[in-house]
A and B are shown apart, each in its own frame.
Chain A
């Protein structure tokens, strides 16, 4: 299977005077159809790693390739395009736009990126809405939805532009156990149906055990 995401000898340091090295030469590949957990203690660098994988942050040294294309020397505009077309995000806090309806929140990223609101995008968004079980709430402003429902809308939004990989930073960390389980099961189902690769940051060993592949990071280094 070909690598969607390839990290080669990534380091990341913060600060100019007091230099903190968060990542120490990390190399890893995520392949099509992978369903990985990323675990590690607090401060181990997992969020930093996820941000670099998602082209949200730039490594201090090393290379990040998306579908074989090196991205670290791209302009911000170009990286934004690659990110939008290839990578979906789910965050602990959904950060939906409260003034918009469920459907609009799903369509908006594509609409803002392409300037078009076409029938195909809309149809796909409705499918996703149906897939996350909220078809009946398409025109409800997201502020009137429950936390679990909002996170499911965020899942649909992450999938709206048909990404090859979805990066999820503690997607269930803010939910009660029941909703958390629902959302996690949703991710598994989508993986099975669409073949989208997932990297899920979690603190929950139970959830990690339900993933196909476990990535562990300790003190900025990958451990097996």
Chain B
């Protein structure tokens, strides 16, 4: 059976009619706004991260880039670094097979793909474009870059002299599937490739410059011997890239970087977004709390006489307090149910209405059960806290004064 306090709380709310309707609406709107905002920010963050990771591995292992530097002899503090502004030679990552075998054995790694990358030029007719020539094993690299999804024409086959190129590059050179392309490497070696696939990666830098060929051909054009330049690692859990990178750093003699380390500006944008989201949610919660509190304060004043008689007839202070705390919690709970539904509708409206120039949704926004639960929890706790002050004043009413107030 329901506790007596809950029954009384429910009746008082029902009795309140328009007041009750107002605070329920306030709480529901608050929950809806919080939920909508949370879902929106989560969707935006997921889309930003997804866009970034679509062309980047979660962890990249590269050969150590030893930059000549001036070091203070007594304590080893780096005073300056001398970076060659001209042509940067590819830094080799040697003995990559045992490393890839070890990576394959790790349970947190989904795929490891060694890459032989070199800068080069692609030529077609009189046109000449700087490119990043990357030699990969297509099956391994498929997991990192998802060629199949991004293919706009042709197929993925990097055997022999075949190449897959970015859509931007294809446009600027005027080549398509079936055409040939001449590539000149940094040390003067050159080769001719047949374009079998054109892919759009969604990032201009990649679309305009990426050319994928077999490892063997990239090595010979880049003058890399039988070395690669990096290993791209795809994790099962992208969020753990920092920890995995740290553990790899102890394991291999190479530069290891997580995607977060390679995209500090993205990370700080996400952080700024998250904290502004928290601030907005906090103010929404505060506004809702003030609304609930003010309505309950009025309700306590209106029911002074009843509260006084309840106290006179043996009702404890703590029981009176619970009656009003229940009201706050109920407002939060019922507001949550309505608010979650309303928030989901808002999200749907946003997805339907806000589109990019091609008519596609800007990014995926979905309300997860966790977000709904968190918003509901926030509302219920807010309701309880908001009810605290009126509940306390109700429980501290002097029955004599309360009854004297008349009706």
Contacts and interface: CB of A to CB of B under 8 A. Distances in A.
Chains A and B are bound partners? yes
A99 B14 CA distance: 8
Contacts of B305: 93, 95
B312 A56 contact: yes
Nearest to B315: A112
B4 A111 contact: yes
B407 A95 contact: yes
B399 interface: yes
Contacts of A117: 1, 4
Contacts of A51: 400
B311 A115 contact: no
Interface residues of B, number: 29
A83 interface: yes
B317 A76 contact: yes
A89 B14 contact: no
Contacts of A96: 306, 309
B73 interface: no
B313 A57 contact: no
B128 interface: no
Interface string A87-109: 01101011111111000000011
B316 A57 contact: no
A15 B404 CA distance: 18
A89 B3 contact: no
Interface in A15-59: 47, 51, 54, 56-57
B309 A115 contact: no
B316 A77 contact: yes
B76 interface: no
Contacts of B5: 112
A115 B403 contact: no
B1 A89 contact: no
A85 interface: yes
A99 B316 contact: no
Contacts of B3: 115
A171 interface: no
A157 B313 contact: yes
A56 to B, nearest CB: 5
B47 interface: no
B311 to A, nearest CB: 7
A99 B10 CA distance: 10
B399 to A, nearest CB: 5
A80 interface: yes
B11 A89 contact: no
A192 interface: no
Given A57-B400, A99-B11, A99-B15, A89 B4 contact: no
Contact of B312 (A54, A77, A94, A97): A54
Given A91-B403, A95-B306, A83 B4 contact: no
B331 to A, nearest CB: 17
Given A56-B399, A56-B400, A80 B4 contact: no
Given A91-B403, A93-B406, A117-B4, A112 B317 contact: no
B33 to A, nearest CB: 31
A213 interface: no
A205 B158 CA distance: 113
B399 A112 contact: no
A120 B406 CA distance: 33
A210 interface: no
A81 interface: yes
A152 interface: no
Contacts of B399: 56
A112 B312 contact: no
Interface in A97-136: 97-100, 108-113, 115, 117
Interface in B1-20: 1, 3-5, 8, 11-12, 14-15
B332 interface: no
A80 B315 contact: yes
Contacts of A63: none
Interface in B282-319: 305-306, 308-319
Nearest to A93: B407
B299 to A, nearest CB: 12
Given A56-B400, A111-B4, A84 B315 contact: yes
Nearest to B316: A80
A170 B399 CA distance: 17
A97 B314 contact: no
Nearest to B407: A93
B8 A108 contact: yes
Contacts of B313: 83-84, 88-89, 109, 113, 157-158, 161
B314 A109 contact: yes
A94 B305 CA distance: 9
Minimum-distance CB pairs A-B, first 10:
A84-B314, A109-B313, A99-B15, A95-B309, A95-B305, A99-B11, A111-B4, A113-B314, A93-B407, A112-B315
Interface of A: 47, 51, 54, 56-57, 76-77, 80-81, 83-85, 88-89, 91, 93-100, 108-113, 115, 117, 157-158, 161
12 contacts: A47-B404, A56-B311, A80-B316, A84-B315, A95-B306, A95-B407, A99-B11, A109-B313, A109-B315, A112-B4, A115-B3, A161-B313
Given A80-B315, A83-B313, A95-B308, 18 more contacts: A54-B312, A56-B311, A80-B314, A83-B314, A84-B314, A84-B315, A89-B313, A91-B403, A93-B305, A95-B407, A96-B309, A97-B11, A97-B306, A98-B15, A109-B313, A112-B4, A112-B319, A157-B313
